[in-house]
Amino acid sequence: MTVLPNSLQARDIAYQMHPYTNARRHERIGPMVIERGEGIHVYDDQGREYIEGMAGLWSVGVGFGEKRLVEAATRQMSKLPYYHTFTHKSHEPSIALAEKLVKITPAGLDHVFFTNSGSEANDTVVKIAWYYNNALGRPNKKKFIARVGGYHGITVASGSLTGIQVNQKGFDLPLPFVRHITTPHFYRFGLPGESEQAFTDRLAKELEDVIAEEGADTIAAFIGEPVTGAGGVVVPPVGYWERVQEICRKNDILVVADEVINGFGRIGTMFASEHFNIRPDMLVLSKQITSSYQPLAAVVFSDAIYQAVADHSETLGTFGHGYTASGHPVATAVGLENLAIIEERGLVQNAATVGAHLQKALRGFANHPLVGEVRGVGLIGAVEIVKDKATKEKFDPPGKVGTYLFERAQEHGLIIRNMQDSIAFCPPMIITEKQVDEVIARFARALEDTQAWIAAGMPAA
């Protein structure tokens, strides 16, 4: 790509630092500037069309250009563009959305705290758990158990919960209050000859051993995504979550389900906790809560936690935590309208029905010589690229092939995401079966290009 002087690309390079980006490489190649979106498509400033196969960042459930969300934001902007929820203040959109979330989330979740992002929400989870245990006179019960490959955000606290090295190298993370255990990815971490049931038993034993080693009286919570997102779209074995919850309940450890990616229909049920029989003490939501038309996230938690926190706030004089935009009126108004669209248009069922079509189509690549595993559920899936199918050997360095495939897909008009050499698919929930077929066709062409490049010795671009 040639970057012209004074172009948007040149100005971007000069002034903006990008997340999840090699800054020096960005200086060399410049950005793709997205100008507009409509439905499942986005268009760059050169007029090129792309299928947004990742729904932005796992998040634009109702698609791009949804006028009802624009109108909801405009109405609220005109009436009350901003107000806070500090010191006994409130407004109708935040009240209505909190009520709605309590009604649609799994039983036993009765109170809502709003933040602006999933990272802030998980940061809040840590602080609520600490505050809760202080309220109960358990000052040592502060540690968290998370999983390698789990993604929970990038603040100092949530970045410590995250179990992905790229989010921690260079930042002096994780902090020592987190222990990471094996992710429930049978393809990668199952032992030779081990059944999925035996794998689940081994992971349960690992959890029990870590609790025994640390001491249950020092562990506040276990946190996990029902289906791992940024860690490679990992669907746990049957019975995994039941075992985790049984062990946590026995040891008085809170269960936190991070549904920032899974929530609001992505896997074919309104929440993945329903699919996996999870009864969380805290549920973390963001992304599809507004289809990312506005920044918003929420922690929905049990009455038992609330009562202890409320008592402690009276003892201390306040619950000294919050954000300027907690429960922002425009964001919560858009969230309400977004949930109405999801319900009225049957998008949860669409994710189940069209998701089954996507899963079947992706599994059509299972016999491809570069494909080690295809996995997923509903409208979230992944194809893992390997050097050797028989041994599951990865390419060296990890991510080089995945990045090449990601770039070839863009050339063919498909935006996907590579997590090293696992290629993720997470299209808007409005997608049709016919559109899924086009996603698959474009991906197939990119995979052919990648196979040819590998056969040619992976020459430098």
pLDDT digits (tens, 9 = 90+) for 72-88: 999 999 999 999 999 99
pTM of the model: 0.96
**14 domain-assigned:** no
pLDDT digits (tens, 9 = 90+) for 272-301: 999 999 999 999 999 999 999 999 999 999
Using the 3D structure, point to which of 344, 368, 398 is the last residue of a domain: 344
What is the distance between the alpha carbons of residues 108 and 100, in angstroms, rounded to a whole number?
A: 14
pLDDT of residue 460: 87
Burial class (CB in 10 A: 0-12, 13-18, 19+), 93: buried
140 and 239 housed in the same domain? yes
**Distance (Å, rounded) from C-alpha 62 to C-alpha 69?**
10
In a domain, 188, yes or no: yes
Does residue 439 share a domain with residue 307? no
The tokens describing 373, both together, are: 């595993």
Pair 42, 117 in one domain: no
- Whether 97 and 235 map to the same domain: the answer is yes
Output the CA–CA distances (angstroms, integers) from residue 46 to 35, 200, 310, in the order listed: 9, 50, 54
What's the domain range around 450? 32-62+346-455
CA 348 vs CA 57, 173, 265, 351, 353: distances in Å: 18, 37, 4, 5, 9
Do residue 334 and residue 351 come from a single domain? no
- Please tell me whether residues 169 and 118 are part of one structural domain: yes
Rounded-to-integer distance, Cα 32 and Cα 276, Å: 38
| pLDDT < 70 stretches in the chain | 1, 461
Task: Verify that 37 and 170 share a domain, yes or no.
Answer: no
Task: Report the CATH number that the domain containing residue 135 is assigned in CATH.
Answer: 3.40.640.10
- Out of 344, 366, 396, a domain closes at 344
For residue 416, being part of any structural domain is answered with: yes
Q: Which are the contacts of 81, defined by CB distance < 8 A and separation ≥ 6? A: 329, 330
Residue 9 lies in a domain: no
Q: Which two tokens stand for residue 365?
A: 């690549």
In a domain, 107, yes or no: yes
Distance (Å, whole) CA 431 – CA 53: 10
Q: Alpha carbon of 128 to those of 170, 242, 278, 437: distances in Å?
A: 27, 24, 20, 45
Diameter of the chain measured on Cα atoms: 69
In a domain, 23, yes or no: no
- CA 297 to CA 325: how far, in whole Å? 11
- Do residue 204 and residue 107 come from a single domain? yes
Contacts of 124 (CB under 8 A, 6+ apart): 113, 115, 299, 321
Q: List the CATH number of the domain containing 41.
A: 3.90.1150.10
For residue 177, tell me if it sits in a domain: yes
- Say what the pLDDT of residue 415 is: 98
CA 236 from chain centre, in angstroms, equals: 15
Determine the Cα–Cα distance for residues 257 and 286; give it in Å rounded to an integer.
12
Q: At which of 344, 370, 403 does a domain end?
A: 344
Q: Same domain, yes or no, for 318 and 407?
A: no
Are 300 and 391 found together in one domain? no
**Does 354 lie in the same domain as 336?**
no
- pLDDT value at position 1? 67
pLDDT for residue 52: 98
Q: How many domains are contained in the chain?
A: 2
| Whether residue 376 sits in one domain with residue 311 | no
**Exposure pattern of 303-334 as b/e (b: 16+ CB <10 Å)?**
eebbebbeebeeeeeeeeebbebbbbbbbbbb
What distances in angstroms separate CA 189 from CA 98, 237, 395, one per listed residue? 39, 12, 17
- 21: in domain: no
Which amino acid appears at position 299 of this protein? Answer: V
